[in-house]
Structure 1
Amino acid sequence: MRYASVQYSILYNEFVDSQGTFYPSYGNPLDQDWKSTTATSGWTQGFFPGVLWNIVEHNATRQLLQHAVDVTMPTAPFANVTGTHDVGFVIMSGFGNAYRLLKRQEYLDVIITAARSLATRYSPIVRCTRSWNSAQGFLVIIDNIMNLELLFEASNQTKDQSLYNIAWQHANRTMYEHFRDDNSTYHVVEYNETDGSVIRKYTAQGYADWSTWSRGQSWAVHGFTIAYRYTKYQPFLDKAISAANYVLTHLPNSTDVIPYWDYDAIHNSTLTYQPRDTSAAAIFASALVELSEYAPTSDMKNKFLENAKAIVNELSSATYMIYGNKEYKLYALLANGTQGPYPKNPYDVSLAYGDYYLTQAVVRLAKL
């Protein structure tokens, strides 16, 4: 976390120099410059303030708190965006953490506005919120399970039952449609928005339609853990545990706990090199820490915690950290992230969400 504070203080200065328009998204560790977005474009801009809030939660100073506030506030207009499901990622990483820590009404107002924006994407016929806009069908991706936190939190704060119902219905339908019998996940489910039936199940970022994209599986574990946090609905917890156990039995081995970008590609692709995805590992580790709180037995609790610690320790090692390679120049934490699908999109890169969920996992572990 000290290293994170140093790296992200440098990024904060870059944010200031850009007059508030620099939000890191991904970057080649060999380069000094991130590929960035603005405060109101893309889907990754919430993770920069999110990392800063994690740093504040770990060791607050007046200066770090001001940095977090400064970087969060410009993203507020995104709460009015109805054209994407990613409003949940953007707002909860920044304003969600800000409100949790400071309880300021102005932060809650942004969360409520964002939840109502996301709710406009709900179809009572499909019983899900739309992920990607498409004229050909109603598309829902497994990533979208993470955005339900926005709806649940806003419902909690306002007592608006309709927001809770939307989130619950989306989680419930996802539980039945996105999982295979072995508790691995499909990335995309395309529904018929006229009658709600399933048209097809496929991948956009994984190796194949039948394979398991590692970050998608991590989203599933994390998202159903959050859904259980708010609902205490036992099937959501059971699904989170089952999805987590799938990951634990498909990691490379007991001492190599960072997944490849797709759990099946390493065994089936003709490409001799297969990249890891440190973001999938970070998301999973953070989820495991919270999931351990709800584990029904002490053995399961300990298993989840020990694996979370092992993953965080490995991610924090010179193998995957930017400081581990003297040729790396990027001001970031993690290397070896993969956007997917490989090799079409960037791989062996730093990803803003990888840094966010790693620091979240560390903060959660530190509270134990």
Structure 2
Amino acid sequence: MEKRFNKIVTLFAGLGLLVSCVSENKIEETFGVKKLVDNCVEKTILTINGLTDADSLPRNILQGQAEWNKVGIHDWTSGFWPGILWYAYEASGDSTILSNARKFTEPLYGVLDVPVDNHDLGFMLNCSFGNGYRLTKDSAYHDFLLVAADSLATLFNPKVGTILSWPAMGEKMGWPHNTIIDNMINLELLFWASKNGGSHDLYDMAVRHAETCMNTLVRPDYTIYHVAVFDTINGHFIKGVTHQGYSDNSMWTRGQGWGIYGYTMVYRETGNEKFLDLAEKLADKFIERLPEDGIPYWDFDCPSIPNAPKDASAAAVAASAMLELSTFMKSEELTTKYKDAAVSLLTRLSSDDYSSKDKNKAMLMHSTGHYPNGSEIDASIIYADYYYIEALTRLKKINEGRRL
């Protein structure tokens, strides 16, 4: 009797293992996400081997170049390279990558040594220290993030209801109080702080910012202005304009991606369905406007399409955002819709057309930074790589049934 029971147990254990293997194999056949994450880790190590100074951080690789052009810690992109290192460490458990993640995060303490003059503290410090704290629970990172959130909060204007994005643009462009759609991403720092020892006022600021932008930056057709300009006397909305898009009324592609990402995150932090509904509508508009080959041009309304530059960074941001969005859907149909849209973007980004392979040290090619300014056009850009590895990490977790 005992032998028969043991045989039955062994049989069911074997069937369970078989089902598990089939399931894992099916996931790998569908996309091969583990291999792509491993490729990102290899690219990260390649970049590590070419860097020396921890306060000199990768920003872009222009056409014809193979090595990263670097910036200092006060550049708005300074947090993306440490963030990539933290994601690569999460994927690999490699102690060398961990030591480099700490090494390149450390200099960013200096970001707060100067007066706060822009909204980018979330990009700079949440991508670096935020990911670092998530993975290590280092108390020094925790405490610094609280200071960073309070610093960001100094730019909040209660009359307007948003964080001031570019103080210098008030005089330069005639924008008394300006808020850009990119600023939505920085709200995550305020939400985190409000839950981890900071004031609840930070939560209230983040929610009010999101609501104000919902009613001003987002147009009735669910495309997005890049910049909202407000009056500082009574806080009323003056106009929507662009800075990096084709025109004031065009659909700047990365801005649409920031909107999807930002409002998905705000729903995660608040549970308010109006933010989820908006994130869906912004995502639907992005998907609707995608060209036949699946990767967007730098602005959906650029008149030189199909000869306009593409923007892989916008595709990576949108893919990461829609993967998280898919986890909040109430129906299997909608879950599949947004996950499949994200996987489609990642599939194209991982193809020979957009993956840098051995052409340079970046992960992706063909991003557009600031087209009207003539900068970083058809380039490899560090934030494209950051959101690419983040999206792949999120997809791997979703496929494995883990929380993001």
Match of 1:104 among 138, 145, 151: 138
Q: Root-mean-square deviation (CA), in Å?
A: 1.5
Per the alignment, residue 361 of structure 1 pairs with 391
Cα drift, residue 311 of structure 1: 0.9
Per the alignment, residue 81 of structure 2 pairs with 48
CA contact (8 A) 1:78 1:114 kept: no
Change (3 A) 1:29 1:334: farther
CA distances 1:172-227 after superposition (whole Å, capped 9, x unpaired): 10011011111000000110111111222110101111100000000000000111
Match of 1:341 among 371, 392, 396: 371
The separation in 1 between residues aligned to 2:60 and 2:239, in whole angstroms, is 31
After TM superposition, the structure 1 stretch with the greater mean CA deviation from structure 2, 20-29 or 339-348, is: 339-348
| Runs of at least 4 residues off by over 6 Å | none
Q: Which runs of structure 2 are paired with 1:241-280 in the superposition (5 Å)? A: 241-253=280-292, 256-265=293-302, 268-269=303-304, 273-280=307-314
The separation in 1 between residues aligned to 2:366 and 2:343, in whole angstroms, is 19
Per the alignment, residue 15 of structure 2 pairs with none
Give the secondary structure class of the aligned counterpart of 1:294: coil
CA contact (8 A) 2:44 2:88 kept: no
Match of 1:212 among 231, 251, 255: 251
Unaligned runs of 5+ in 1: none
Amino acid of the residue matched to residue 72 of structure 1? Answer: T
Amino acid of the residue matched to residue 346 of structure 2? Answer: V
CA distances 1:282-334 after superposition (whole Å, capped 9, x unpaired): 000000111111112211110111111111111011100111xx6x3x31111
CA contact (8 A) 1:92 1:150 kept: yes
Q: Percent identity?
A: 35
1:143 matched to 2:143? The reply is no
Match of 2:338 among 304, 319, 322: 304
Decide which structure has the larger Cα Rg and report it.
2
1:30 matched to 2:64? The reply is yes
Cα drift, residue 338 of structure 1: 0.3
Unaligned runs of 5+ in 2: 1-36, 399-404
Q: TM-score, normalization: structure 2?
A: 0.85
CA contact (8 A) 1:84 1:131 kept: yes
CA contact (8 A) 1:275 1:338 kept: yes
Cα drift, residue 279 of structure 1: 0.2
Match of 2:348 among 308, 314, 322: 314
Match of 2:149 among 112, 115, 121: 115
Give the secondary structure class of the aligned counterpart of 1:322: coil
The separation in 2 between residues aligned to 1:308 and 1:79, in whole angstroms, is 35
CA distances 1:130-183 after superposition (whole Å, capped 9, x unpaired): 001123310110000000000000011115111101111100100110111110
Cα drift, residue 343 of structure 1: 7.2
CA distances 1:250-285 after superposition (whole Å, capped 9, x unpaired): 0013xx2211100111xx34x762011000000000
The separation in 2 between residues aligned to 1:26 and 1:51, in whole angstroms, is 14
CA contact (8 A) 1:4 1:333 kept: yes
CA contact (8 A) 2:55 2:104 kept: no
Per the alignment, residue 32 of structure 2 pairs with none
